[in-house]
């Protein structure tokens, strides 16, 4: 199973992947690139990852979700340059009933943000760029100037 | 003494000027020793006080002892999603 891809994400394919005749509920979450962050106009985000660890952590998250709820999960995170309005991550959670599907979908995206080694660099309309850093006071940090 | 290759990503790769660096450590060195050695390399002083180090794709602690062939990576604050 691969959870990372450079190509655009086909949400319909993920929904089809988790569908089953005993699953009455499918909840999907799509994380799209937003046009504004911390008051700056964003043009695109450049995503990168520590791929082998990111795959391993995604595998663990999906397995853990399956232990917590009776769900089938599909998860894909896109890497590379992603323009405003395009989708960076999709979670699809299917279950017999909606409660488990909603809860699992929410939990999986939260875990992805917290545990998967992925980074993003924002490119702004004025040509500047900053690293996104959720631990920084303003949520972004300056790139290192090239010598 | 052993040479360990340390993978660097995103902003840390920028700070150190490379996607991977080599550090020479005594046998049975731990992550704390690895981090000290990293800070002495060019750009290493710019790394933050606390570092997320992964060994063999899992989060390691300062007392984690390194073995030959371990895959070591230093990870900036995660920003997926």
pLDDT digit string (tens) for B58-72?
A: 999 999 999 999 999
Looking at residue A143, what is its pLDDT? Answer: 84
This prediction has a pTM of 0.94
Would the pLDDT of B39 be above 80? yes
Average pLDDT of chain B, as a whole number:
96
Find chain A residues with C-beta within 8 A of B11's C-beta.
119, 131, 133, 141, 143-144
Point out which residues pair with A132 in neighbouring strands: A140
Cβ within 8 Å of B, A 10-29: none
Taking the Cβ of residue B57 and every Cβ of chain A, the question of whether any pair is shorter than 8 Å is answered with yes
Reading the block at residue A99, the tokens are: 């409660």
Burial class (CB in 10 A: 0-12, 13-18, 19+), B52: middle
Optimal mutation site among A46, A50, A118, A131, interface B, most CBs of chain B within 10 A: A50
Query: So what's the pLDDT on residue A77?
Result: 98
pLDDT bucket at A142, cuts 50 / 70 / 90? confident
* A62 touching chain B per CB within 8 A: no
pLDDT at A18: 97
pLDDT of residue A38: 80
User: What is the number of other CB atoms lying within 10 angstroms of the CB of residue A73?
Assistant: 25
Selected for mutation to probe chain B from A37, A46, A53 (highest B CB count within 10 Å) is: A53
Only one residue has tokens 């020793």, namely: B33
Tokens of B76: 């900036």
User: So what's the pLDDT on residue A128?
Assistant: 93
**Alpha-carbon distances, residue A115 vs A39, A86, A129, B8, B23 (angstroms):** 27, 23, 24, 17, 26
How many whole angstroms separate alpha carbon A1 and alpha carbon A74? 10
Which one-letter DSSP state was computed for residue B65? B
Top pLDDT among A1 and A40 is at: A40
Residue A120 has pLDDT above 80, yes or no: yes
Q: Which residue of B has its CA nearest to A87?
A: B81
Average pLDDT in the A34-52 region?
94
Banded pLDDT at A144 (limits 50, 70, 90)? confident
Per-residue pLDDT band at B11 (split at 50, 70, 90): very high
Query: If you count residue pairs, one on A and one on B, with CB atoms under 8 Å apart, how many are there?
Result: 76
Q: Give me chain A's average pLDDT, please.
A: 95
Local confidence band at A145 (pLDDT 50, 70, 90 cut-offs):
low
Q: What is the per-residue DSSP string for B23-64?
A: EEE-TT-BHHHHHHHHHTSTTGGGS-SS-EEEETTEE--TTP
Q: How confident is the model at residue A37 (pLDDT cuts 50, 70, 90)?
A: confident
Can you tell me the distance from the alpha carbon of B53 to that of A13, in angstroms, rounded to the nearest whole number? 35
Bridge partner list, A91: A29, A75
Q: Which of A109-113, A128-132, A137-141 has the lowest mean pLDDT?
A: A137-141
Q: Do A144 and B43 touch (CB under 8 A)?
A: yes
- Bridge partners of residue A103, in order along the sequence: none
For A55, nearest residue in chain B (alpha carbons): B57
Please report residues of A whose CB lies closer than 8 A to that of B80: 47, 49, 54, 77, 89, 112-113, 116-120
User: Mind listing the pLDDT tens digit for each residue in A66-79?
Assistant: 999 999 999 999 99
Task: Tell whether the model's pLDDT for residue A1 goes beyond 70.
Answer: no
Q: Which residues pair with B59 in a beta bridge?
A: B54
Please report the pLDDT score of residue A86 as a whole number: 97
pLDDT of residue A129: 94
- pLDDT, residue A39, reads 84
């Amino acid at each position: 199973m691969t959870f990372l891809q450079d190509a655009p994400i086909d949400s319909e394919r993920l929904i089809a992947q988790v569908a089953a005749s005993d699953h009455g509920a499918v909840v999907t979450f799509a994380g799209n690139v937003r046009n504004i962050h911390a008051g700056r106009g964003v043009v695109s985000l450049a995503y990168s990852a520590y791929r082998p660890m990111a795959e391993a952590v995604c595998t663990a998250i999906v397995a853990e979700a399956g232990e917590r709820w009776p769900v089938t999960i599909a998860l894909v995170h896109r890497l590379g340059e992603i323009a405003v309005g395009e989708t960076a991550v999709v979670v699809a959670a299917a279950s017999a009933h909606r409660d488990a599907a909603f809860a699992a979908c929410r939990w999986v995206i939260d875990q992805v943000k917290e545990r998967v080694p992925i980074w993003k660099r924002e490119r702004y309309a004025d040509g500047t760029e900053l690293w996104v850093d959720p631990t920084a006071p303003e949520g972004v940090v300056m790139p290192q100037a090239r010598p | 003494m052993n040479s360990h290759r340390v993978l660097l990503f995103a902003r840390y790769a920028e700070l150190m000027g490379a996607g991977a660096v080599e550090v020479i450590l005594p046998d049975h060195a731990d992550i704390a020793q690895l981090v000290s050695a990293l800070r002495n390399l060019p750009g290493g002083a710019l790394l933050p006080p606390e570092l997320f180090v992964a060994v063999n794709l899992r989060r390691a602690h300062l007392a984690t002892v390194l073995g030959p062939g371990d895959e070591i990576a230093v990870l900036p604050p995660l920003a997926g999603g």
